[in-house]
Amino acid sequence: MARQIMHVDLDAFFVSVEQALNPELQGKPVVVGGRPDQRSVVASASYEAREFGLHAGMPLTTACRLCPQATFIEGSFPKYRDASQRFMAILADFSPYLEPVSLDEAYLDATGFESIHGSIHQMALDIKQRTKDELGLCASIGIASCKVVAKIAAELSKPDGLLEVANGAERSFLAPLPIAKLPGVGKKTERILNGLGINTIGQLAVTPPGMLKSHFGIFSKLMHNYANGVDDREIELPGAAKSISRETTFGKDTKDRSLLKATLRYLSERVGADLRQRSKQARCVTLKLRYADFTTITRQHTLRQPGHTDQTIFDTGLRLLKAALAQEEQPVRLVGIGVSNLVEPGRQLDMLDSSTGRQEQLNKAIDRIRNKYGFTAIQTGRTLLLKDIFPETDGGYTLHTPSLSR
Ligand code: TTP
Ligand code: MG
Protein backbone atom coordinates (compact mmCIF):
# COMPACT_ATOMS: atom_id res chain seq x y z
CA MET A 1 0.00 0.00 0.00
CA ALA A 2 1.29 3.47 -0.86
CA ARG A 3 2.27 5.65 2.08
CA GLN A 4 0.56 8.96 2.82
CA ILE A 5 3.24 11.40 3.92
CA MET A 6 2.44 14.97 4.91
CA HIS A 7 4.84 17.87 4.96
CA VAL A 8 3.57 20.73 7.10
CA ASP A 9 5.31 24.13 7.06
CA LEU A 10 4.13 27.37 8.65
CA ASP A 11 3.86 30.42 6.40
CA ALA A 12 6.26 33.29 7.09
CA PHE A 13 6.81 31.80 10.53
CA PHE A 14 8.70 34.46 12.54
CA VAL A 15 6.64 37.25 10.98
CA SER A 16 3.34 35.41 11.51
CA VAL A 17 4.11 34.93 15.22
CA GLU A 18 4.68 38.70 15.48
CA GLN A 19 1.45 39.36 13.59
CA ALA A 20 -0.52 36.95 15.78
CA LEU A 21 0.71 38.81 18.87
CA ASN A 22 0.14 42.25 17.35
CA PRO A 23 -2.90 42.33 15.03
CA GLU A 24 -1.93 45.84 13.84
CA LEU A 25 0.79 44.18 11.78
CA GLN A 26 -1.59 41.84 9.96
CA GLY A 27 -1.98 42.30 6.21
CA LYS A 28 1.07 44.57 6.07
CA PRO A 29 4.64 44.22 4.82
CA VAL A 30 6.60 43.04 7.86
CA VAL A 31 10.18 41.84 8.13
CA VAL A 32 11.87 40.00 11.00
CA GLY A 33 15.65 40.19 11.02
CA GLY A 34 16.63 43.47 12.59
CA ARG A 35 16.47 47.19 12.08
CA PRO A 36 17.13 48.39 8.52
CA ASP A 37 20.35 50.15 9.53
CA GLN A 38 21.83 46.91 10.83
CA ARG A 39 24.23 44.81 8.80
CA SER A 40 21.89 41.87 9.06
CA VAL A 41 19.66 39.97 6.65
CA VAL A 42 15.95 39.20 6.36
CA ALA A 43 15.07 36.07 8.36
CA SER A 44 11.38 36.09 7.46
CA ALA A 45 9.27 38.37 5.27
CA SER A 46 5.47 38.55 5.25
CA TYR A 47 3.81 37.64 1.94
CA GLU A 48 2.85 41.33 1.57
CA ALA A 49 6.54 42.21 1.80
CA ARG A 50 7.44 39.49 -0.70
CA GLU A 51 5.38 41.30 -3.31
CA PHE A 52 8.09 43.98 -3.20
CA GLY A 53 10.74 41.35 -3.92
CA LEU A 54 11.83 40.82 -0.32
CA HIS A 55 12.97 37.35 0.69
CA ALA A 56 14.92 35.51 3.40
CA GLY A 57 18.66 36.10 3.21
CA MET A 58 18.37 39.54 1.57
CA PRO A 59 20.44 42.29 3.27
CA LEU A 60 18.18 44.53 5.37
CA THR A 61 19.54 47.61 3.63
CA THR A 62 18.30 46.24 0.28
CA ALA A 63 14.96 45.25 1.84
CA CYS A 64 14.51 48.77 3.18
CA ARG A 65 15.30 50.30 -0.20
CA LEU A 66 12.75 48.06 -1.97
CA CYS A 67 10.04 48.44 0.65
CA PRO A 68 10.67 51.40 2.99
CA GLN A 69 7.11 51.25 4.36
CA ALA A 70 7.67 47.76 5.85
CA THR A 71 7.77 47.29 9.61
CA PHE A 72 11.18 45.95 10.61
CA ILE A 73 11.31 43.84 13.76
CA GLU A 74 14.39 42.47 15.45
CA GLY A 75 12.55 39.40 16.65
CA SER A 76 12.91 37.31 19.78
CA PHE A 77 13.72 33.65 19.67
CA PRO A 78 11.86 32.51 22.86
CA LYS A 79 8.56 33.58 21.27
CA TYR A 80 9.25 31.49 18.18
CA ARG A 81 10.43 28.51 20.20
CA ASP A 82 7.24 28.63 22.25
CA ALA A 83 5.04 28.83 19.14
CA SER A 84 7.03 25.97 17.60
CA GLN A 85 6.49 23.72 20.62
CA ARG A 86 2.75 24.39 20.59
CA PHE A 87 2.64 23.74 16.83
CA MET A 88 4.42 20.39 17.21
CA ALA A 89 2.06 19.45 20.07
CA ILE A 90 -0.92 20.01 17.75
CA LEU A 91 0.68 17.82 15.07
CA ALA A 92 1.44 15.11 17.63
CA ASP A 93 -2.31 14.94 18.37
CA PHE A 94 -2.84 13.89 14.76
CA SER A 95 -0.14 11.26 14.33
CA PRO A 96 2.50 9.70 16.57
CA TYR A 97 4.66 9.32 13.46
CA LEU A 98 5.92 12.87 13.57
CA GLU A 99 9.34 14.12 12.53
CA PRO A 100 10.04 17.77 13.34
CA VAL A 101 12.52 19.08 10.79
CA SER A 102 12.91 22.65 11.93
CA LEU A 103 11.01 25.07 14.16
CA ASP A 104 8.12 25.47 11.72
CA GLU A 105 8.30 22.33 9.64
CA ALA A 106 7.52 18.65 10.14
CA TYR A 107 6.81 15.40 8.32
CA LEU A 108 3.91 13.25 9.41
CA ASP A 109 3.05 9.72 8.38
CA ALA A 110 -0.71 9.61 7.91
CA THR A 111 -0.91 6.19 6.26
CA GLY A 112 -4.15 4.50 7.28
CA PHE A 113 -5.49 7.54 9.14
CA GLU A 114 -8.34 8.22 6.71
CA SER A 115 -10.72 6.14 8.80
CA ILE A 116 -10.25 8.54 11.74
CA HIS A 117 -10.69 11.79 9.80
CA GLY A 118 -12.83 10.73 6.86
CA SER A 119 -9.96 11.33 4.45
CA ILE A 120 -6.33 12.40 4.55
CA HIS A 121 -7.41 15.62 2.87
CA GLN A 122 -9.83 16.28 5.76
CA MET A 123 -7.09 15.44 8.26
CA ALA A 124 -4.92 18.14 6.66
CA LEU A 125 -7.79 20.63 6.79
CA ASP A 126 -8.27 19.82 10.49
CA ILE A 127 -4.56 20.42 11.15
CA LYS A 128 -4.74 23.77 9.36
CA GLN A 129 -7.86 24.76 11.30
CA ARG A 130 -6.43 23.93 14.73
CA THR A 131 -3.17 25.71 13.93
CA LYS A 132 -5.15 28.80 12.89
CA ASP A 133 -7.56 28.69 15.86
CA GLU A 134 -5.03 27.97 18.59
CA LEU A 135 -1.92 29.78 17.34
CA GLY A 136 -3.25 32.26 14.81
CA LEU A 137 -0.77 30.81 12.29
CA CYS A 138 -1.23 29.52 8.76
CA ALA A 139 0.15 26.11 7.85
CA SER A 140 0.71 24.92 4.28
CA ILE A 141 0.53 21.18 3.72
CA GLY A 142 1.72 18.84 0.99
CA ILE A 143 0.49 15.24 0.82
CA ALA A 144 2.19 12.55 -1.26
CA SER A 145 3.51 9.02 -1.19
CA CYS A 146 7.01 10.14 -0.14
CA LYS A 147 8.84 12.91 1.67
CA VAL A 148 10.43 14.72 -1.24
CA VAL A 149 7.19 15.07 -3.21
CA ALA A 150 5.21 16.08 -0.09
CA LYS A 151 7.77 18.79 0.67
CA ILE A 152 7.71 20.23 -2.82
CA ALA A 153 3.89 20.13 -2.83
CA ALA A 154 3.72 22.07 0.46
CA GLU A 155 6.16 24.65 -0.87
CA LEU A 156 4.17 25.11 -4.10
CA SER A 157 0.88 25.41 -2.23
CA LYS A 158 2.02 28.42 -0.14
CA PRO A 159 0.58 30.57 1.34
CA ASP A 160 -2.28 28.95 3.27
CA GLY A 161 -2.17 26.00 0.88
CA LEU A 162 -3.02 22.35 0.70
CA LEU A 163 -1.82 20.27 -2.22
CA GLU A 164 -2.22 16.54 -2.64
CA VAL A 165 -0.23 14.56 -5.22
CA ALA A 166 -1.99 11.32 -6.10
CA ASN A 167 -0.10 8.07 -5.87
CA GLY A 168 1.32 7.41 -9.33
CA ALA A 169 1.25 11.08 -10.36
CA GLU A 170 4.59 11.96 -8.71
CA ARG A 171 6.65 12.10 -11.91
CA SER A 172 4.18 14.13 -13.92
CA PHE A 173 3.75 16.52 -10.99
CA LEU A 174 7.50 17.10 -10.70
CA ALA A 175 8.39 17.09 -14.41
CA PRO A 176 7.61 20.73 -15.36
CA LEU A 177 9.17 22.26 -12.23
CA PRO A 178 12.55 24.01 -12.38
CA ILE A 179 15.34 21.92 -10.82
CA ALA A 180 15.86 24.54 -8.08
CA LYS A 181 12.62 23.26 -6.53
CA LEU A 182 14.28 19.94 -5.75
CA PRO A 183 15.45 19.93 -2.10
CA GLY A 184 19.23 19.94 -1.95
CA VAL A 185 19.68 21.65 -5.30
CA GLY A 186 21.35 24.92 -4.39
CA LYS A 187 22.70 27.67 -6.60
CA LYS A 188 25.89 25.80 -7.48
CA THR A 189 24.17 22.53 -8.39
CA GLU A 190 21.60 24.45 -10.38
CA ARG A 191 24.35 26.16 -12.39
CA ILE A 192 26.07 22.87 -13.18
CA LEU A 193 22.80 21.20 -14.21
CA ASN A 194 21.80 24.19 -16.34
CA GLY A 195 25.24 23.98 -17.98
CA LEU A 196 24.41 20.39 -18.94
CA GLY A 197 21.14 21.57 -20.49
CA ILE A 198 19.05 20.26 -17.57
CA ASN A 199 16.55 22.91 -16.50
CA THR A 200 13.51 21.02 -15.28
CA ILE A 201 13.04 18.16 -12.83
CA GLY A 202 11.59 16.15 -15.73
CA GLN A 203 14.82 16.56 -17.72
CA LEU A 204 16.81 15.48 -14.68
CA ALA A 205 14.53 12.46 -14.26
CA VAL A 206 15.45 11.08 -17.68
CA THR A 207 19.19 11.79 -17.38
CA PRO A 208 21.05 8.57 -16.54
CA PRO A 209 22.72 9.02 -13.12
CA GLY A 210 25.99 7.79 -14.65
CA MET A 211 26.11 10.99 -16.70
CA LEU A 212 26.04 13.11 -13.54
CA LYS A 213 28.46 11.00 -11.54
CA SER A 214 31.57 13.00 -12.37
CA HIS A 215 29.85 16.15 -11.05
CA PHE A 216 27.92 14.89 -8.05
CA GLY A 217 29.46 11.51 -7.12
CA ILE A 218 27.26 9.35 -4.93
CA PHE A 219 24.54 12.01 -4.90
CA SER A 220 23.74 11.50 -8.60
CA LYS A 221 21.67 8.41 -7.85
CA LEU A 222 19.80 10.20 -5.06
CA MET A 223 19.07 13.19 -7.31
CA HIS A 224 17.88 10.87 -10.03
CA ASN A 225 15.55 9.07 -7.61
CA TYR A 226 14.15 12.30 -6.17
CA ALA A 227 13.57 13.69 -9.67
CA ASN A 228 11.54 10.55 -10.38
CA GLY A 229 9.55 10.97 -7.16
CA VAL A 230 11.31 7.97 -5.62
CA ASP A 231 12.20 8.48 -1.96
CA ASP A 232 11.97 5.64 0.56
CA ARG A 233 13.11 7.68 3.58
CA GLU A 234 10.97 6.86 6.59
CA ILE A 235 9.63 9.32 9.14
CA GLU A 236 12.40 9.55 11.72
CA LEU A 237 11.05 9.82 15.22
CA PRO A 238 12.96 12.21 17.48
CA GLY A 239 15.30 10.36 19.75
CA ALA A 240 16.00 7.71 17.16
CA ALA A 241 19.75 7.56 16.67
CA LYS A 242 20.89 8.52 13.17
CA SER A 243 24.19 6.81 13.60
CA ILE A 244 26.00 4.58 16.05
CA SER A 245 29.76 4.59 16.44
CA ARG A 246 32.53 3.56 18.77
CA GLU A 247 36.15 4.50 18.82
CA THR A 248 39.32 3.80 20.74
CA THR A 249 42.45 5.83 21.31
CA PHE A 250 45.49 3.64 21.80
CA GLY A 251 47.75 4.20 24.80
CA LYS A 252 50.63 4.26 22.35
CA ASP A 253 50.41 5.04 18.63
CA THR A 254 50.62 1.81 16.67
CA LYS A 255 51.32 0.27 13.28
CA ASP A 256 50.59 -3.24 14.49
CA ARG A 257 48.11 -4.65 11.98
CA SER A 258 46.94 -7.46 14.30
CA LEU A 259 46.18 -5.00 17.07
CA LEU A 260 44.36 -2.67 14.67
CA LYS A 261 42.32 -5.57 13.29
CA ALA A 262 41.47 -6.92 16.73
CA THR A 263 40.39 -3.50 17.92
CA LEU A 264 38.30 -3.00 14.81
CA ARG A 265 36.66 -6.38 15.39
CA TYR A 266 35.87 -5.51 18.99
CA LEU A 267 34.42 -2.11 18.06
CA SER A 268 32.41 -3.67 15.21
CA GLU A 269 30.87 -6.14 17.65
CA ARG A 270 29.88 -3.34 20.01
CA VAL A 271 28.34 -1.32 17.20
CA GLY A 272 26.60 -4.43 15.80
CA ALA A 273 25.14 -5.27 19.21
CA ASP A 274 23.82 -1.69 19.59
CA LEU A 275 22.35 -1.77 16.12
CA ARG A 276 20.52 -5.05 16.73
CA GLN A 277 19.36 -3.85 20.14
CA ARG A 278 17.64 -0.99 18.33
CA SER A 279 16.21 -3.37 15.71
CA LYS A 280 17.88 -1.42 12.93
CA GLN A 281 19.88 -2.17 9.86
CA ALA A 282 22.58 0.10 8.48
CA ARG A 283 23.22 1.12 4.92
CA CYS A 284 26.51 2.85 5.56
CA VAL A 285 29.73 1.89 7.37
CA THR A 286 32.30 4.53 8.27
CA LEU A 287 35.88 4.00 9.39
CA LYS A 288 37.64 6.72 11.32
CA LEU A 289 41.40 6.91 11.77
CA ARG A 290 43.49 9.46 13.57
CA TYR A 291 47.21 9.35 12.85
CA ALA A 292 50.11 10.23 15.12
CA ASP A 293 50.14 13.84 13.87
CA PHE A 294 46.41 14.12 14.69
CA THR A 295 45.33 14.13 11.04
CA THR A 296 41.90 12.50 11.09
CA ILE A 297 40.30 10.78 8.15
CA THR A 298 36.97 9.04 7.64
CA ARG A 299 36.25 6.55 4.89
CA GLN A 300 32.74 5.46 4.08
CA HIS A 301 31.21 2.54 2.24
CA THR A 302 27.57 2.08 1.28
CA LEU A 303 26.40 -1.51 1.56
CA ARG A 304 24.57 -3.12 -1.33
CA GLN A 305 21.97 -4.34 1.15
CA PRO A 306 21.44 -2.84 4.61
CA GLY A 307 23.07 -5.08 7.22
CA HIS A 308 23.41 -5.54 10.97
CA THR A 309 25.77 -8.42 11.54
CA ASP A 310 29.13 -7.95 13.24
CA GLN A 311 30.75 -9.66 10.28
CA THR A 312 29.33 -7.21 7.73
CA ILE A 313 30.44 -4.21 9.77
CA PHE A 314 33.87 -5.68 10.44
CA ASP A 315 34.51 -6.87 6.87
CA THR A 316 33.58 -3.48 5.46
CA GLY A 317 35.62 -1.65 8.10
CA LEU A 318 38.60 -3.89 7.45
CA ARG A 319 38.53 -3.24 3.71
CA LEU A 320 38.45 0.50 4.39
CA LEU A 321 41.24 0.13 6.96
CA LYS A 322 43.51 -1.76 4.57
CA ALA A 323 42.94 0.79 1.82
CA ALA A 324 43.66 3.69 4.19
CA LEU A 325 46.81 2.12 5.65
CA ALA A 326 48.16 1.46 2.18
CA GLN A 327 48.24 5.22 1.65
CA GLU A 328 49.71 6.32 4.96
CA GLU A 329 53.03 5.61 6.65
CA GLN A 330 52.27 7.09 10.05
CA PRO A 331 51.29 5.07 13.12
CA VAL A 332 47.65 5.19 14.18
CA ARG A 333 46.49 6.98 17.30
CA LEU A 334 42.77 6.25 17.15
CA VAL A 335 40.51 3.86 15.30
CA GLY A 336 36.73 4.07 15.14
CA ILE A 337 33.89 2.40 13.31
CA GLY A 338 30.37 3.64 12.81
CA VAL A 339 27.16 2.84 11.00
CA SER A 340 24.66 5.33 9.64
CA ASN A 341 21.72 5.65 7.30
CA LEU A 342 19.77 3.37 9.61
CA VAL A 343 16.63 1.71 8.34
CA GLU A 344 13.97 -0.62 9.66
CA PRO A 345 14.77 -4.21 8.77
CA GLY A 346 12.86 -5.11 5.65
CA ARG A 347 12.64 -8.19 3.54
CA GLN A 348 16.12 -8.68 2.32
CA LEU A 349 17.54 -10.26 -0.73
CA ASP A 350 20.63 -11.03 1.30
CA MET A 351 18.60 -13.34 3.52
CA LEU A 352 18.64 -15.72 0.59
CA ASP A 353 22.38 -15.83 0.93
CA SER A 354 22.86 -18.65 3.41
CA SER A 355 26.11 -17.32 4.88
CA THR A 356 24.37 -14.08 5.88
CA GLY A 357 21.51 -16.10 7.36
CA ARG A 358 24.02 -18.09 9.42
CA GLN A 359 25.72 -14.88 10.59
CA GLU A 360 22.37 -13.56 11.75
CA GLN A 361 21.68 -16.73 13.74
CA LEU A 362 25.14 -16.58 15.28
CA ASN A 363 24.73 -12.91 16.24
CA LYS A 364 21.35 -13.64 17.79
CA ALA A 365 22.83 -16.38 19.93
CA ILE A 366 25.79 -14.22 20.98
CA ASP A 367 23.51 -11.26 21.78
CA ARG A 368 21.35 -13.49 23.99
CA ILE A 369 24.31 -14.71 26.01
CA ARG A 370 25.84 -11.25 26.26
CA ASN A 371 22.54 -9.72 27.37
CA LYS A 372 22.41 -12.26 30.15
CA TYR A 373 26.04 -12.44 31.26
CA GLY A 374 27.63 -9.23 29.96
CA PHE A 375 29.44 -8.27 26.80
CA THR A 376 32.71 -9.92 27.81
CA ALA A 377 31.09 -13.31 28.45
CA ILE A 378 31.99 -14.17 24.89
CA GLN A 379 35.26 -13.30 23.22
CA THR A 380 35.49 -13.89 19.54
CA GLY A 381 38.79 -15.00 18.03
CA ARG A 382 40.18 -11.61 17.18
CA THR A 383 39.12 -9.73 20.29
CA LEU A 384 40.77 -12.37 22.53
CA LEU A 385 44.03 -10.76 21.51
CA LEU A 386 42.91 -7.55 23.17
CA LYS A 387 42.61 -9.21 26.55
CA ASP A 388 46.35 -9.83 26.54
CA ILE A 389 47.17 -6.33 25.38
CA PHE A 390 44.71 -4.41 27.54
CA PRO A 391 44.14 -6.71 30.54
CA GLU A 392 42.92 -3.74 32.59
CA THR A 393 40.05 -3.24 30.20
CA ASP A 394 38.33 -6.49 31.06
CA GLY A 395 38.20 -7.17 27.37
CA GLY A 396 36.82 -3.79 26.59
CA TYR A 397 34.55 -1.92 28.94
CA THR A 398 36.78 1.10 29.39
CA LEU A 399 38.20 0.86 25.94
CA HIS A 400 35.37 2.23 23.89
CA THR A 401 33.77 5.60 23.52
CA PRO A 402 30.20 5.07 22.44
CA SER A 403 28.61 7.80 20.49
CA LEU A 404 25.10 8.19 19.22
CA SER A 405 24.66 11.15 16.98
CA ARG A 406 21.31 12.64 16.22
P1 TTP B 1 11.03 29.03 6.34
O2 TTP B 1 9.93 28.04 6.56
O3 TTP B 1 12.07 28.72 5.32
O4 TTP B 1 10.45 30.44 5.95
P5 TTP B 1 9.14 31.17 6.44
O6 TTP B 1 8.36 30.31 7.38
O7 TTP B 1 9.52 32.51 6.97
O8 TTP B 1 8.35 31.39 5.08
P9 TTP B 1 7.58 30.30 4.19
O10 TTP B 1 6.17 30.75 4.16
O11 TTP B 1 8.23 30.39 2.86
O12 TTP B 1 7.73 28.98 4.85
O13 TTP B 1 11.80 29.26 7.69
C14 TTP B 1 11.13 29.26 8.96
C15 TTP B 1 11.71 30.32 9.87
O16 TTP B 1 13.08 30.11 10.05
C17 TTP B 1 11.58 31.72 9.30
O18 TTP B 1 10.34 32.32 9.62
C19 TTP B 1 12.73 32.43 9.92
C20 TTP B 1 13.76 31.36 10.16
N21 TTP B 1 14.81 31.50 9.13
C22 TTP B 1 15.95 32.20 9.45
O23 TTP B 1 16.13 32.63 10.60
N24 TTP B 1 16.90 32.37 8.49
C25 TTP B 1 16.73 31.91 7.22
O26 TTP B 1 17.62 32.10 6.36
C27 TTP B 1 15.54 31.21 6.89
C28 TTP B 1 15.33 30.67 5.50
C29 TTP B 1 14.61 31.01 7.88
MG1 MG C 1 7.86 28.29 6.88
- Banded pLDDT at 131 (limits 50, 70, 90): very high
Q: What is the mean pLDDT of the chain?
A: 88
CA of 97 from ligand 1 middle (Å) equals: 24
- Banded pLDDT at 216 (limits 50, 70, 90): confident
**329 is known as an active-site residue:** no
- From 18, 48, 99, 105, the catalytic residue: 105
pLDDT of 391: 42
Identity of the amino acid at 66: L
pLDDT of 278: 84
Find which of 40-54, 215-229, 335-349 is predicted with most confidence, using mean pLDDT.
40-54
| Ligand nearest the Cα atom of residue 102 | 1
pLDDT of 382: 61
CA of 97 from ligand 2 middle (Å) equals: 20
CA of 138 from ligand 1 middle (Å) equals: 13
| Residue 374 reports pLDDT greater than 70 | yes
pLDDT of 147: 96
Nearest CA to ligand 1 atom 29: 43
| Residue 61 reports pLDDT greater than 70 | yes
Instruction: Summarize pLDDT for 88-123 with one digit per residue, the tens.
Output: 999 999 999 999 999 999 999 999 999 999 999 999
Range in 37-51, 167-181, 182-196, 369-383 the model is least confident about: 369-383
CA of 198 from ligand 2 middle (Å) equals: 28
Instruction: Summarize pLDDT for 231-280 with one digit per residue, the tens.
Output: 988 898 887 778 899 999 998 999 999 999 999 999 999 999 999 988 88
| Residue 68 reports pLDDT greater than 50 | yes
| Ligand nearest the Cα atom of residue 11 | 1
Torsion of CA 308, 314, 316, 321, to 10 degrees: 150
The model carries a pTM of 0.67
CA of 56 from ligand 1 middle (Å) equals: 7
pLDDT of 387: 56
| Residue 353 reports pLDDT greater than 60 | no
Range in 58-67, 208-217, 227-236 the model is least confident about: 208-217
Nearest CA to ligand 1 atom 25: 43
Nearest CA to ligand 1 atom 15: 13
pLDDT > 70 in the chain, percent: 89
Hey, which of 11, 40, 104 would you mutate to test ligand 1's pocket, going by the most ligand atoms within 8 Å of its Cβ?
104
| Ligand nearest the Cα atom of residue 42 | 1
- The pLDDT of 383-395, averaged and rounded, is 49
- The pLDDT of 70-88, averaged and rounded, is 94
CA of 215 from ligand 1 middle (Å) equals: 30
| Ligand nearest the Cα atom of residue 161 | 1
Atom of ligand 1 nearest to the CA of 104: 14
- Banded pLDDT at 386 (limits 50, 70, 90): low
Cα–Cα distance between 7 and 199 in angstroms, integer?
25
pLDDT of 398: 32
- Enumerate residues lining ligand 1, CB below 6 A: 9-14, 43-44, 56-57, 103-105, 158
